[in-house]
A = this chain, B = another copy of it.
Amino acid sequence: MNIPNNLIRPLEYTGYSLKILDQRLLPGQELYLEFTKADEVIKAIKDMVIRGAPAIGLAGAWACCLAAKDNNLKNDESQLIEKFEEIKQARPTAVNLSKAIERMKISLQEKGISGLEEEALAIFNEDEAMCQMMAVYGLTLLPNKSEYKFITHCNTGSLATAGIGTALGLIKFLAGQRKKVKVFATETRPYLQGSRLTAWELNKCEIPVTLMPDSAVAYLMSKENIDAVFVGADRIVANGDTANKIGTYTLALLAREFKIPFYVVAPSTSIDLSLSSGAEIEIEQRHSSELTEFNGLKIAPPNISVLNPAFDITPGNLISAFITEKGIFNIEKLKNIL
């Protein structure tokens, strides 16, 4: 496969620090920030220096390792556990962070501080392998063609994972098999993950990408034969309802309208069977300035209300299939995954 994944590393643990690529500066600048304290990583996650459900989980796991090196915490397990809990709360919607921290807590209790780095590395390596497996399974769903046209939303590639990515990983994997692949990427307001991250990543991989406003998807679907929509997930609950980047719900409804398969590509770590329906998922509301300002310029009048949910819930019945590292599942069989 001819995909230069080694060029894109969203985070790197050095043994004494965590280097995180500042995704807020892309595509203009590729700058790694270096953190030595868990609190700094918590802030970086909140501020979206790093984002993407799996990548947030990884950053959280490494933050636990940094916490365990902190002289104020390392000799007091209850305080350390408290810090782990703080890390877990950095962002609420994606379940991957919460699951990663739970693993780190169990590791701490079973093996003590010395086992934490090994556990974080295991989470990292497993995530990389899961990306590969999702791509392999995902390809079995596609008819054999010489050319494909896909729509994707937000960024679900190397920048969001330890590997090739989830939804975007699958697309990159297919392109690596000498198939002609054309990707239509939504710009994904307000944070512009599509313009800034997905277009940048596909460009690096030399896969043709067409950028469009989030609002142009219906227009595109009415004009072009789209083979599938691929999106990631922040949390998939027992009935198949899926929290993902704001706009995913609309994409799923449009896909149904235009009879286009709509696939969620996510590792099993994104599945949360403790919740029975999407209504129970906490949706993070982000700051109004993401909509009222841009690069220091006021783009809306002051003192207006803003609705800025980071995610929405796509009803499970709009999802053609869930592509995981354990295979392809429909909503009836979702409970058999874990």
The B-contacting residues of A in range 206-243, CB under 8 angstroms, are: 208-220, 222
The B-contacting residues of A in range 36-60, CB under 8 angstroms, are: none
Contacts A/B (CB < 8 Å), 27 sampled:
A27-B298, A187-B300, A189-B189, A189-B214, A189-B215, A190-B213, A192-B300, A195-B291, A195-B299, A199-B304, A203-B301, A203-B304, A210-B307, A211-B291, A211-B292, A211-B300, A212-B307, A213-B291, A215-B215, A215-B246, A216-B307, A216-B308, A216-B312, A218-B312, A219-B246, A219-B283, A294-B294
A297 interface residue (CB < 8 Å to B): yes
The B-contacting residues of A in range 183-203, CB under 8 angstroms, are: 184, 186-190, 192, 195-196, 199-200, 203
Whether B297 contacts A28 by the Cβ 8 Å rule is yes
A306 interface residue (CB < 8 Å to B): yes
Whether A292 contacts B216 by the Cβ 8 Å rule is no
Interface residues contributed by chain A, number (CB under 8 Å): 54
Chain B residue numbers with a CB within 8 Å of A210 are 304-307
Given A28-B298, A222-B249; 19 other pairs, CB 8 A cutoff:
A184-B307, A196-B299, A203-B301, A209-B304, A210-B307, A211-B300, A212-B291, A212-B306, A212-B307, A213-B247, A213-B308, A215-B215, A216-B247, A218-B247, A219-B246, A250-B250, A253-B253, A253-B254, A295-B295
Question: Does more than half of chain A's interface fall in helix, strand or loop, or is it mixed?
Answer: mixed
Whether A250 contacts B218 by the Cβ 8 Å rule is yes
Q: How far apart are A303's CB and chain B's nearest CB, in angstroms?
A: 7
How many angstroms from the CA of A222 to the CA of B248 in the assembled complex? 13
Number of copies: 2
Given known pairs A246-B215, A250-B254, A254-B253, the reply for A220 and B298 (CB within 8 Å) is no
Chain B residue numbers with a CB within 8 Å of A220 are 307
Chain B residue numbers with a CB within 8 Å of A307 are 184, 210-212, 216, 219-220
Whether B250 contacts A212 by the Cβ 8 Å rule is no
The B-contacting residues of A in range 284-323, CB under 8 angstroms, are: 291-292, 294-295, 297-301, 303-309, 312-313
A126 interface residue (CB < 8 Å to B): no
How many angstroms from the CA of A247 to the CA of B217 in the assembled complex? 8
Chain B residue numbers with a CB within 8 Å of A184 are 307
Chain B residue numbers with a CB within 8 Å of A190 are 187, 213
A147 interface residue (CB < 8 Å to B): no
